[in-house]
Chains A and B, each alone.
Chain A
Amino acid sequence: MTAAKRPPLPVILLANDLLDGEVVFWTGRVWSDRPQEALIARDEAGAALLEAAAAEALAQNKVVDAYLVDVALDGEGRAVPRHYREKIKTEGPSVRRDLGKQAGQSNLVPTGH
Chain B
Amino acid sequence: MYRYDEFDARFVRERVAQFRDQVARRLDGSLTEDEFKPLRLKNGVYLQLHAYMLRIAIPYGTLSARQLRQLALIGEKYDRGYGHFTTRTNMQFNWPRLRDVPEILDLLADVEMHCIQTSGNCIRNVTADHFAGVAADEVEDPRPTAELIRQWSSLHPEFDYLPRKFKIAVTGSPQDRAVTKAHDIGLRILRNAKGEIGYEVMVGGGLGRTPMIAKTIRAFLPKAELLAYLEAVLRVYNLEGRRDNKYKARVKILVHEIGAEKFTQLVEDEYARLDGPSIVADPQEVARIAAYFAPPAYEKLPLRSTGFDAAKTQNRAFATWASVNLFPHKLTGYAAATISLKNIGEAPGDVTSAQMRVLADLAEKYSFDELRITHAQNVVLPHVKQDDLFAVWQALVAADLASANAGLITDIIACPGLDYCSLATARSIPIAQALAQRFADQERQIEIGELNIKISGCINACAHHHVGHIGILGLEKSGKESYQITLGGDATLNAAIGERLGPGLDAEDVPDTIERIVEVYLQHRKAGEPFIDAVRRLGLEPFKAVVQETLHAPA
Flag if A21 contacts B49 (CB, 8 Å): no
B98 contacts A by Cβ under 8 Å: yes
Give chain A interface residues in 55-113, CB to chain B under 8 Å.
58, 60-61, 64-65, 82-85, 88-89, 92-96, 99-100, 105, 107, 109
Question: Contact residue range for chain A?
Answer: 20 to 34
Stretch at the interface among B26-34, B123-131, B210-218, B256-264: B26-34
Question: B459-483 vs A: 1/0 string, CB under 8 Å?
Answer: 0000000000000000000011100
Contact A88 B52 (CB under 8 A): no
Residue contact B33 to A99, C-beta cutoff 8 Å: no
Q: How far is B418's CA from A93's CA once the two chains are assembled, in angstroms?
A: 8
B187 within 8 A of A: no
Tell which of A3-11, A12-20, A35-43, A44-52 binds the partner: A12-20
B27 and A93: CB pair below 8 A?
no
Shortest CB distance A104–B (Å) = 13
Q: Taking the complex as formed, is A23 at the interface, i.e. its CB lies under 8 A from any CB of chain B?
A: yes
B47 touching A96, Cβ below 8 Å: no
A21–B98 CA distance with the chains assembled, in angstroms? 7
Confirm or deny: B170 has a beta carbon within 8 angstroms of a beta carbon on chain A: no
In the bound assembly, the distance between CA atoms of A61 and B50 in angstroms comes to: 18
- Residue contact A19 to B419, C-beta cutoff 8 Å: no
Q: Are B98 and A88 in contact (CB under 8 A)?
A: no
Chain A residue with the shortest CB-CB distance to B46: A21
Known: A94-B430, A95-B347. A18 touches B97 (CB 8 A): no
Q: How far is the CB of A35 from chain B (nearest CB, A)?
A: 12
Count contacts between A and B, CB distance < 8 Å: 74
- Residues of B with C-beta under 8 A to A88: 49, 418-419, 427
Q: Mark B2-33, 1 if CB is under 8 A from A, else 0.
A: 00000000000000000000000011010001
CB of A89 within 8 A of CB of B97, answer no
CB-CB contacts of B41-79 with A at 8 A, as 1s and 0s?
Answer: 000000101111000000000000000000000000000
Question: Is the beta-carbon distance between A93 and B420 smaller than 8 angstroms?
Answer: yes
Instruction: Check B429 for interface membership: any CB of A closer than 8 A.
Output: yes
Assembled-state Cα–Cα distance A94/B507 (Å): 14
A21-B52, A89-B49, A96-B419 known; A109 and B97 CB under 8 Å? yes
Contact A19 B50, beta carbon cutoff 8 Å: no
Q: Are B433 and A19 in contact (CB under 8 A)?
A: no
Assess whether B80 is interfacial by the CB under 8 Å rule: yes
Bound-state Cα–Cα, A66 to B33, Å: 12
Q: Is B288 an interface residue (CB 8 A)?
A: no
Which of A65, A82, A84 meets B481, CB within 8 Å? A84
CA distance A48 to B480 in the complex (A): 28
B95 at the interface (CB under 8 A from A): yes
The answer to whether A65 touches B419 (Cβ under 8 A) is no
Tell me if B304 counts as interface (CB < 8 A to partner A): no
A77 to B37, CA, bound (A): 37
- Residues from chain A with a CB closer than 8 A to the CB of B29 are 60-61
The reply to whether B51 and A22 form a contact with Cβ atoms under 8 Å apart is yes
Contact check, B427 vs A83: say whether CB atoms are below 8 A apart.
no
**Contact between A61 and B47 (Cβ–Cβ < 8 Å)?**
no
Q: Are A93 and B98 also in contact (CB < 8 A) when A19-B27, A61-B27, A84-B481 are?
A: no
Bound Cα distance A85, B410 (Å):
27
Are A107 and B47 neighbours in the complex by a CB distance under 8 Å? Answer: no
CB distance from B426 to the nearest CB of A (A): 8
B95–A107 CB distance below 8 A: yes
Is B99 interfacial (CB 8 A cutoff)? Answer: yes
Contact call B47/A20, Cβ cutoff below 8 A: no
- CB <8 Å contact, B418 and A20: no
Q: Are A19 and B47 in contact (CB under 8 A)?
A: no
A61 contact from B26, B49, B99, B427, Cβ within 8 A: B26
Which of chain B's residues 476-495 have a Cβ closer than 8 Å to chain A?
479-481
Q: CA separation between A3 and B125, bound complex, in Å?
A: 42
- CB proximity of B421 to chain A, nearest CB, Å: 10
B418 adjacent to A85 (CB under 8 Å): yes
Chain A's closest residue to B424 (CB) is A85
> For window 299-354 of chain B, which residues contact chain A by CB distance below 8 Å?
347
The interface centre, meaning the residue of A19, A60, A93, A109 with most chain B CB atoms within 10 A of its CB, is A93
In contact, B50 and A92 (Cβ under 8 angstroms): yes
List the A side residues contacting B51 at CB < 8 Å: 16, 20-22, 107
Top 9 A-B residue pairs of the complex, sorted by shortest distance between their CB atoms: A21-B51, A93-B419, A21-B52, A20-B97, A95-B429, A19-B99, A61-B29, A89-B49, A95-B419
Q: Which residues of B contact A (CB under 8 A)?
A: 26-27, 29, 33, 47, 49-52, 80, 95-99, 347, 418-420, 424, 427, 429-430, 433, 479-481
Q: Given A20-B99, A95-B429, A96-B347, 12 other A-B contacts at CB below 8 A?
A: A19-B98, A20-B51, A21-B47, A23-B49, A23-B50, A84-B418, A84-B479, A84-B481, A85-B49, A85-B418, A88-B427, A95-B347
A-B pairs with beta carbons under 8 Å apart, 21 shown:
A18-B98, A19-B97, A20-B99, A21-B52, A21-B95, A21-B96, A58-B33, A60-B29, A61-B26, A61-B29, A84-B479, A88-B418, A89-B49, A89-B50, A92-B50, A93-B420, A94-B419, A95-B347, A95-B433, A99-B80, A100-B50
